Amino acid sequence: MGILTEGIFGGFRNKTGPIIGRRYRKQNIITSLHRISQKPEQEGELVQQHRFSILNSFLSRISALVDIGFKQYAKKKSAVNAAYSFNAPHAYINDGEETVLNYPKLVYSRGQVDTPDFPQVSFSGEDTIVFSWLPQEQSMYSRANDQASFLIYIPEKDTAFVLKNEALRADLSFSVEIKPPVDGATYHCYMNFNNESGKLVGDSVYVGMLT
């Protein structure tokens, strides 16, 4: 039985005959009953499902950064969905017969704040990753007190180290201790700057890969 929630001309919820009414993002939505398809899934559909799954999983895992970095593009959808739409066209490469993420092309933040100048990443000892960058001239979008955030992603473990506002642009370096170290792991490293208030963000950049 469907229930009228706003009078005879308003929306309704629950099922009425072959249609379903519900409220979604402050709008009344009417859909048909869902039917389970008896057709076998085609290879192209499986590829698309796999692509959606791996990119959405990555972005959802780092949502603490994505929610800030794509907030200005999340009008009628979530920041993760906005980031997915932006990244999807360039997010994949083929590794043999398998489709995998193209990590150097992935972006978790977009904005006007200047990116770091000549960022680099390296190991210090067995369990410490060091980010470094060069000093820059001061401008509206490049301040000494801009805050740096970092991401280290390990695909073998599907693990992300998310570090928000952990350093200043003027610091020129930042160290992350990885405990315990992961034998044979690949570390994909990213960073970006936001201004001091956090209202303005900058593009995230892929700093490099460590093995």
What 3-state class would DSSP assign to 4?
A: strand
Region 29-35: mean pLDDT is 62
Give the pLDDT confidence score for residue 8 in this predicted structure.
46
Q: For 105-122, what is each residue's pLDDT tens digit?
A: 999 999 999 999 999 999
18 token code pair: 């072959």
Q: Using one digit for the tens of pLDDT, what is the confidence trace for 132-151?
A: 999 999 999 999 999 999 99
pLDDT of 42-54, one tens digit each? 767 898 999 999 9
Return all residues near 146 (Cβ < 8 A) that are at least 6 apart. Answer: 113, 114, 168, 169, 193, 194, 195, 196, 202
**Residue whose C-alpha is closest to residue 119's, from 191, 181, 184, 64:** 191
Helix (H, G, I), strand (E, B) or coil at 154: strand
Q: What is the pLDDT of residues 194-206, one digit of tens each?
A: 999 999 999 999 9
Q: Would you list the domain boundaries of the chain?
A: 43-210
Q: Taking 80 as the threshold, does the pLDDT of residue 3 lie above it?
A: no
Where are the extended beta strands (E) located within the chain? 3-4, 12-16, 19-24, 27-32, 92-95, 98-101, 117-124, 128-134, 147-154, 159-168, 173-177, 187-194, 205-210
What is the overall mean pLDDT for the chain? 88
CATH class of 43-210: mainly beta
